[in-house]
Structure 1
């Protein structure tokens, strides 16, 4: 498909409009809104525009992505983490794993 021929200012205006209506959305959602308006742009141009237009919100969204818990254990094998993935259960696969939390 052909990319839309828009200047950076025009892209900034569109991204700003979408960001005002939906303040906590990221690049993927903005790309979806632009596609719905028949505007086809590469992801990189939308990301650059989002940085120019919405830097404070961008920093706010990235500030709390992963909050890791701090803990202390006596030593190895004192704490274990268990996790599972059942996406393949339709085919009879259940994946579970454990790891030492030391």
Structure 2
């Protein structure tokens, strides 16, 4: 029984959910208990996810290094996402403001002229339906040298052929 409680405590501290704890106990340790028994063990060990919160000063010291709620949970801190969010506002107001605006800082580079730098990208959202949209854009101006919706399983050789076929269309030799 003590071994069982130690395993439950260990899996709980890893952040596993109750069903996951049951699965691990069953598959790795041949311990078959019901969900109700697991809840009883957790109550006996005073293990709760949302009631016994960690001291706020410990969380602040940790957040100064790691910024993620999940990391707090993985390191044994019991804290809500709202508390982490508010602490981040206090510790790094500029960073929070930048993330809040969701501003994308574009990289700057210089190009020698048209058709010197091309950017390729693929739209993968439709991949599960067998559709993959590939596009290529000139980095100097904005015309599309090439756009296709060919098979998503294509390799690098096919992509190079696609680029080569786009060169005459873009006025390149």
Question: What interval of TM-score do these two structures reach, taking the shorter chain for normalisation?
Answer: 0.3 to 0.5
- Give TM-score scaled by structure 1 length: 0.47
With CA pairs under 8 Å and 6+ residues apart, which has the higher RCO, 1 or 2? 1
Q: Highest Rg: 1 or 2? A: 2
